Homo-oligomer: A and B are copies of this chain.
Amino acid sequence: MQQLTIIPPRSGTSFILKKNQRLKVVDVEGEQVSDFICYNLHDKAEYLSSGRTIDYAETIYLTKGNLFYSNRSNVMFEMIEDTVGQHDFLLTPCSAEMFRIIYGDTNPHRGCFGNLCQALKEYEIAPDNIPTCFNIFMNVPVDGVTGKVSVLPPKSKAGDHVTLQAKMDLIVGMTACSAGMSNNFSYKPIGYVIEE
């Protein structure tokens, strides 16, 4: 069995996931969120697209069996396991600007966005090229009548996980979320395993 790698609280990381490898993302302590983004390793202008994925899946709640598409309509990965069933694909990562605008913080944390910027520098991916992320375990119900979006504590308990299988060679960026509202103000770590 492969090693569980830990992303410390309020931080991010990046790595390569080769075609057919599986990425298991584990909510180690429960009620934590991981913002996830990916790029085609061989052409970084191809990135994970929430708009295409939601269009083709015909749902905003992506789960086991769903395919995730790039901006060029190619399949980047499939979710093959999901013990939670509630994730978000509408919102951009928390950021210093978000903490200022929504929380009124005067000295804000750089957030998942800042952590992804830092982590993806290694692959020469610029901040402007970090789009809406797939926010694993993030619980964002939508009121279908009013359209109102709420951010609630994740439904995930300790040990809950999803597994994503790559359908192309990917650069992955991932965080342990920095926004109190999305993880019930617990700021916990996130674990992951790359399985061959």
Contact = CB atoms under 8 A, between A and B. Distances in A.
Interface of A: 45-46, 49-52, 54-56, 58-61, 71-73, 90-92, 95, 97-98, 101-102, 126, 128, 130-133, 141-150
A59 B147 CA distance: 5
Q: Is chain A's binding surface mostly helix, strand, loop or mixed?
A: loop
Contacts of A92: 49, 51-52, 55, 71
Contacts of A73: 95, 97-98, 101
A128 B45 contact: yes
Given A50-B132, A131-B131, A149 B58 contact: yes
8 contacts: A46-B128, A50-B50, A51-B91, A56-B98, A58-B148, A60-B149, A73-B95, A144-B145
